[in-house]
């Protein structure tokens, strides 16, 4: 957490996925997992959807902030196989696995670093500033 900037930064990201059975080579699954985690990092830290009268107000590339290559930390992916008794050949889909962990893990890391428990994403610098100001006011 870069507290001077109020921007949560990630030095690295370790992904561990429990999959049921390899049906394709790991080379094909790992890049998809990395790409999904990149999207989730954006959702957790930057990508805020602003709506008004049922429409999205920030629907342009100029005002919908998404992570760039410079924002993504090095990612290491690990898989452990646990056959699924009800799937064909012990398999089960892996497409949803990358979607579960990053946002809660990042919010937990922010809480660990700052003592602030956020309940919504994205954890933008503005959200962190507001939460830190409220916490400071509560301590006075």
Catalytic annotation present for 48: no
Q: Give every CB contact of residue 40 below 8 A, 6+ residues apart in sequence.
A: 98, 99, 101, 102, 103
Q: Considering the candidates 96, 111, 120, 130, report the single residue annotated as catalytic.
A: 96
Cβ neighbours for 118, distance < 8 A, ≥ 6 positions apart: 107, 110, 111, 127, 128, 131
The DSSP-derived string for 27-78 is HHHHHHHHHHHHHHHHHHHT----EETTEES--STTTS----GGGPPPEEEE
Q: Which residues are catalytic?
A: 96
């Amino acid at each position: 957490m870069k507290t001077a900037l109020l921007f949560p930064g990630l030095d690295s990201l370790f992904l561990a996925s429990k999959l049921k059975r390899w049906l394709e080579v790991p080379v094909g699954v790992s890049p998809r997992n990395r790409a999904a985690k990149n999207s989730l990092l954006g959702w957790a830290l930057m990508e805020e959807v602003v709506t008004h009268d049922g429409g999205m107000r920030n629907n342009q590339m100029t005002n919908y902030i998404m992570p760039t290559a410079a924002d993504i930390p090095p990612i290491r992916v690990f898989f452990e196989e646990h056959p699924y008794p009800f799937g064909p050949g012990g398999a089960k889909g892996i497409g949803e696995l990358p979607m579960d962990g990053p946002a809660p893990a990042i919010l937990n890391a922010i809480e660990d670093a700052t003592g602030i428990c956020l309940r919504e994403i994205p954890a933008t610098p503005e959200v962190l500033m507001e939460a830190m100001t409220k916490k400071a006011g509560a301590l006075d």
